[in-house]
């Protein structure tokens, strides 16, 4: 063990200070293949799930250290978490090994780091559950967590009401988990729903519940993420359940472990929409509801699709705009503006009739909808 630090915290602080360049860290850890770079920041194939498109952001946080966030599976952390994932280590179990590996990557000590170690990133196997089985597993949660004024959902309901999207969230089947202290009872409910009984053959098993990616050690992972947002396939089958915090904690969004966001939010509405309706791409499910509400208020029909994050944009999604007016309506922050040209180019190439840039009049579309309602 390296002994030149007086405290473990000093050791960690120096490692994080040295690992301050996302591009260099990505290249040294062997994540260069398929990566995209935006200035100093990067988007890579997530090492925590079977990722075919770069859905994991590696960027400089406000404190000037590296932060990591996957917009598909919810994997998040700092440079040490990315080192651990690249070396197939677990921070709670292998913490000292993670620090030693990070020192090598950071160039601390005598080891040569000019070449990345020939150790492939950890790749978890794809989920065994079909979309139909996953939808059956989460059905009890969505049913029991209806957005009403009960003690289960009251604070989540208030949050959505303040953002002027409650009615649309109810229409779309959103739900709420209870507070963490009551969540074990809901896990027991899901497992009980998997038990066959006379006259009832459940559409999923207890093992399916365990493999859904929602649980960790028999309880909901990230119990503070209580707003449940169902993401659907073009046929309307729920294939993922994103969960959001309604308080300032992190991570704000998580998804079921091992289930990538294969389709944008709201894709099930494209099939029935008239070709005259424009199609707009925004960031996140809440902005989808907000822009829907604003379009309805102005009597302007529009299809609104939500990206899991701007770095998770897939050019193949541009084909949904073929023959339509298409709008790039992502946020006007630095991350949003970086992808505007890429999205607009893909939409033109896919056969959009016209491409426009829509900008929210206040912050983001959720802010605009809330201000209009107030």
d(CA 24, CA 29): 9
- Which DSSP helix (H) or strand (E) runs through 357? strand 354-357
Q: What is the structure's pLDDT at 120? A: 46
Q: Which span out of 41-50, 54-63, 213-222 was modeled with the highest average pLDDT?
A: 213-222
pLDDT band per the 50, 70, 90 thresholds, residue 239: very high
CB < 8 Å & 24+ apart, contacts of 184-191? 184/218, 184/219, 186/140, 186/141, 186/144, 186/220, 187/215, 187/218, 187/219, 187/220, 189/140, 189/144, 190/137, 190/140, 190/141
Contact 102, 12 (CB under 8 A): no
Q: What is the structure's pLDDT at 156? A: 97
Mean pLDDT (the chain, rounded): 87
Name the percent of the chain lying above pLDDT 90.
55
Interval 329-367: pLDDT, tens: 999 888 888 899 999 999 999 999 999 999 998 778 999
Angle at 117 between CA 113 and CA 119, to 5 degrees: 160
Query: For the ranges 101-105, 163-167, 189-193, which has the lowest average pLDDT?
Result: 101-105
Contact 46, 73 (CB under 8 A): yes
d(CA 329, CA 339): 11
d(CA 290, CA 293): 5
d(CA 263, CA 306): 9
pLDDT above 80 for 101 = yes
Interval 24-42: pLDDT, tens: 899 888 888 888 887 778 8
Dihedral sign from CA coordinates of 73, 77, 81, 86: positive
Of the candidates 273, 264, 256, the one whose C-alpha atom is nearest the C-alpha of residue 232 is: 264
What the block records as the tokens of 181 is 């202290």
Indicate the burial class of 173 (C-beta count within 10 angstroms; 0-12, 13-18, 19 or more): middle
Interval 289-337: pLDDT, tens: 999 999 999 898 899 999 998 888 889 999 999 999 999 999 988 888 8
Dihedral sign from CA coordinates of 82, 84, 90, 92: negative
Of the candidates 175, 112, 119, the one whose C-alpha atom is nearest the C-alpha of residue 148 is: 175
Mean pLDDT of 249-276: 91
pLDDT band per the 50, 70, 90 thresholds, residue 87: confident
Q: Is 37 helix (H, G, I), strand (E, B) or coil?
A: strand
Name the percent of the chain lying above pLDDT 70.
93
Q: Is 313 helix (H, G, I), strand (E, B) or coil?
A: coil
Q: What is the structure's pLDDT at 103? A: 86
Contact 288, 230 (CB under 8 A): no
Contact 245, 226 (CB under 8 A): yes
Dihedral sign from CA coordinates of 101, 102, 106, 107: negative
Q: What are phi and psi of 217, to 5 degrees?
A: 55, 45
Q: What is the structure's pLDDT at 7? A: 55
d(CA 285, CA 263): 12
Q: What is the structure's pLDDT at 119? A: 43
d(CA 119, CA 242): 31
Contact 88, 122 (CB under 8 A): yes
Alpha helices in 195-267 (DSSP H): 206-210
Mean pLDDT of 85-92: 84
| SS3 per residue for 262-292 | CCCECHHHCCCCCCCCCEEEEECHHHHHHHH
Contact 52, 313 (CB under 8 A): no
Walk me through the domains of the chain, giving residue ranges and CATH numbers.
8-106 (3.90.580.10), 131-254 (3.90.980.10), 267-373 (3.40.1360.10)
């Amino acid at each position: 063990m390296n002994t030149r630090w007086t405290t473990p915290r000093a050791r960690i602080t120096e490692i994080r200070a040295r690992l301050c360049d996302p591009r260099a860290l990505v290249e040294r850890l062997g994540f260069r293949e398929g990566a995209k770079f935006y200035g100093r920041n990067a988007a890579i194939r997530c090492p925590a799930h079977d990722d075919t498109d770069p859905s994991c952001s590696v960027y400089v946080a406000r404190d000037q250290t590296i932060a990591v966030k996957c917009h598909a599976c919810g994997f998040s952390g700092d440079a040490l978490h990315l080192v651990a994932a690249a070396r197939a280590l677990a921070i709670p179990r292998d913490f000292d090994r993670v620090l030693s590996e990070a020192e090598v990557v950071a160039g601390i000590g005598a080891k040569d780091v000019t070449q990345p170690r020939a150790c492939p990133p950890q790749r978890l196997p794809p989920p065994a559950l079909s979309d139909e089985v996953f939808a059956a597993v989460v059905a009890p949660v969505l049913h029991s967590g209806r957005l009403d004024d009960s003690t289960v959902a009251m604070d989540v309901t208030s949050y959505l009401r303040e953002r002027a999207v409650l009615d649309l969230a109810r229409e779309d089947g959103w739900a709420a988990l209870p507070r963490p202290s009551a969540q074990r009872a809901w896990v027991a409910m899901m497992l009980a729903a998997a038990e066959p009984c006379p006259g009832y053959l459940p559409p999923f098993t207890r093992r399916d519940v365990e493999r859904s990616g929602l649980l960790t050690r028999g309880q909901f992972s990230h119990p503070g993420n209580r707003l449940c947002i169902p993401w659907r396939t073009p046929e309307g089958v729920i294939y993922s359940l994103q969960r959001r915090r309604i308080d300032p904690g992190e991570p704000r969004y998580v998804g079921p472990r091992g289930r990538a966001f294969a389709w944008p939010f709201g894709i099930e509405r494209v099939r029935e929409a008239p070709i005259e309706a424009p199609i707009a791409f925004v960031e996140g499910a809440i902005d989808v509801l907000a822009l829907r509400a604003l379009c309805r208020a102005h009597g302007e029909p529009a299809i609104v699709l939500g990206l899991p994050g701007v770095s998770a944009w897939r050019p193949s999604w541009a084909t949904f705009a073929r023959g339509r007016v298409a709008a790039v309506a992502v946020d006007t922050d630095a991350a949003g503006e970086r992808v505007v040209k890429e999205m607009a180019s893909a939409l033109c190439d896919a056969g959009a009739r016209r491409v426009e840039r829509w900008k929210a009049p206040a912050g983001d579309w959720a802010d605009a909808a809330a201000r209009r309602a107030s």
